[in-house]
Amino acid sequence: MAYKVPWLLFRHFNSETTTQIAKMNVEREYAVVGSWEDTNVTLAVLEAYIPRYFANARRVYYSKTEKFTINTVSHDTHLDKDVEEYLRSSFSFEFELYYFIKQRLYKQYIAVYKDEF
C-alpha cells in the first residue's frame, strides 16, 4: 500500500483535497484494498469479494509459509519523540488515508463474517 499512496493522491501530495479525492477513488475504483500488515483479514476479504481470482487464497498462502523468508530487523527501531512528531505531522494526510483504508477493510471483513462473531 505504501507504494500506491502517491498514485492515489495524484500530483499534489499532503493536502486535504487530494486525500479526499484518494478516498473517493478507493471507494469507486477498488473492491478491496488490503495490507500485508493484516494479511489474514486482507485474504479473507479478497476471497469473499473477488472469489474468481482469490478462492482459497488463505489456504494457499498459509500452506507455503514455511518457504517464506521472514525479514528481521537487527537494529534499533526507536525514534526520538521529536522525530516521530515531525514525521506524523509531515505525513498526516497519508496517515489519514491509511487509517481510512484500514477501517474500510475491517468493515468489509465484519460484513462478510458478521454471523461468526
Identify the CA nearest to 51 among candidates 112, 5, 102, 99.
112
Report pTM: 0.77
49 DSSP 8-state letter: H
Note the pLDDT of residue 77. Answer: 79
CA distance 104 to 31: 10
Residue-level length of the chain = 117
Note the pLDDT of residue 56. Answer: 95
Show pLDDT as tens, one digit a residue, over the chain (117 residues): 444 555 554 556 678 899 999 999 999 999 999 999 999 999 999 999 999 999 999 999 988 777 766 666 677 878 899 999 999 998 999 999 999 999 999 999 999 999 887
